[in-house]
């Protein structure tokens, strides 16, 4: 083997067992953009975690769910996105144990994120469809228990789904210098059903119900406001605020679901339909698009939650370091 061929190997000293250096599936500028998005994802979700953890008024059941989602999104930006880009664009110089850990996290973190979005959908469903009993049905203790169970189930699922990984992390490697793990068709089908079809069906069904109830409530409130206005010539501000809150809840869940589907569907659709020339050309981008959802979630919060914008201002200006800042009125 000549010098030029040896230079193309990840480990030139291992002539027969070294992988060739991978050709980046995109220009170098794309790599820089994705690392930038990874940093932005970490920063935005860290702001959410600090906001909900620091300000006492934000310690609500709904925000506990948002905190759980922010933690999973933070891990996506901190671990999954940069390592995925590194895996696609360079040789794998880390150990098999690190590869195995990354593979486990690549199943565990998205599973926890999807489970949390389902819990958020259930929370919004109860808040809009059964508002009178919301405070008794959805308590802080119950939500914390559900979040813990969600993460435990995702860990258990990842260990079960990748049961051979810890002891046989390199069994699918044909050479040194790559991090791969192949899945059999049965496992892929089970994963498709458990982590996509079932959660998406539940989320869409709940959202359609929430949307229908929100629309009917909006019509009822509008009719009541009109009647009261004609009778007293004054529009009740409380009713207007309730109407606006109901709309915001429905819109937030709707945008969250749409963005979730836009980011998750292409990858699962490719897995389901199989590989062809088209899917082969877009396949390198799909895991990153899958992770990009974690960067968009905080942007959605900024659009729909005034408390998030206010807390960001207090964090950036370091006002949270002042004594008693945790008692600040955020709502």
Q: What is the pLDDT of residue 330?
A: 82
* Torsion over CA: 124, 126, 129, 132 (sign): negative
Contacts of 198 (CB under 8 A, 6+ apart): none
CA distance 281 to 226: 57
Residue 9 phi/psi, 5-degree rounding, is: -90, 150
The pair of three-digit structure tokens given for residue 28, joined into one six-digit string:
């170098």
Tally the domains of the chain: 1
Q: Which residue in the block uniquely carries the two structure tokens 């291992």?
A: 14
The count of residues in the chain is 331
Weakly modelled stretches of the chain, pLDDT under 50: 1, 166-170, 233-235, 238
Which pLDDT value is given to residue 50?
Answer: 93
pLDDT of 91 reads 86
Q: Are 37 and 55 in contact (CB under 8 A)?
A: no
pLDDT on residue 124: 85
- What distances in angstroms separate CA 128 from CA 135, 194, 250, 252, 255, one per listed residue? 12, 27, 8, 13, 16
Which run of H or of E encompasses 281?
helix 277-282
Question: Which positions ≥6 away from 48 have C-beta within 8 Å?
Answer: 66, 67, 70, 298, 301, 308
The CATH code of the domain that includes 73 is 1.20.1070.10
Show the tokens assigned to 215.
Answer: 């629309």
**Enclosing domain of residue 106:** 3-327
For residue range 160-213, what is the model confidence (pLDDT) as tens digits? 877 665 444 445 566 778 887 776 777 778 888 888 889 989 988 988 888 788
């Amino acid at each position: 083997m000549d010098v030029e061929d040896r230079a193309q190997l990840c480990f030139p000293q291992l002539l027969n067992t070294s992988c060739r250096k991978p050709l980046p599936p995109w220009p170098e500028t794309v790599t820089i953009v994705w690392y930038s998005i990874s940093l932005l994802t970490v920063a935005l979700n860290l702001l959410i975690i600090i906001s909900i953890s620091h300000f006492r008024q934000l310690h609500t059941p709904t925000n506990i769910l948002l905190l759980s989602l922010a933690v999973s999104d933070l891990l996506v930006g901190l671990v999954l996105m940069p390592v995925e880009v590194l895996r696609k664009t360079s040789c794998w110089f880390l150990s098999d144990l690190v590869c195995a850990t990354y593979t486990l996290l690549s199943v565990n973190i998205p599973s926890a994120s999807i489970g949390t979005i389902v819990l958020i959908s259930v929370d919004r469903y109860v808040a809009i469809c059964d508002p009178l009993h919301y405070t008794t049905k959805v308590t802080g203790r119950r939500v914390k228990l559900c979040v813990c169970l969600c993460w435990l189930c995702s860990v258990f699922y990842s260990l079960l789904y990748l049961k051979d990984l810890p002891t046989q992390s390199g069994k699918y490697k044909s050479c040194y210098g790559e991090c791969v793990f192949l899945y059999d068709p049965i496992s892929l089908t089970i994963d498709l059903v458990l982590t996509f079809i079932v959660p998406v069906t539940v989320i869409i069904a709940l959202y359609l119900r929430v949307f229908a109830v929100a629309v009917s409530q909006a019509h009822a409130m509008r009719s009541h406001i009109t009647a009261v206005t004609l009778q007293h010539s004054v529009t009740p501000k409380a009713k207007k605020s309730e109407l606006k809150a109901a709309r915001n809840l429905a819109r937030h869940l709707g945008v969250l679901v749409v963005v979730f589907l836009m980011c998750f569907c292409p990858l699962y659709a490719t897995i389901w339909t199989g590989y062809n020339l088209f899917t082969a050309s877009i396949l390198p981008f799909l895991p990153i698009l899958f992770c990009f959802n974690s960067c968009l979630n905080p942007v959605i919060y900024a659009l729909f939650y005034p408390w998030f914008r206010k807390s960001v201002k207090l964090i950036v200006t370091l006002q949270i370091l002042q004594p008693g800042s945790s008692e600040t009125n955020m709502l």
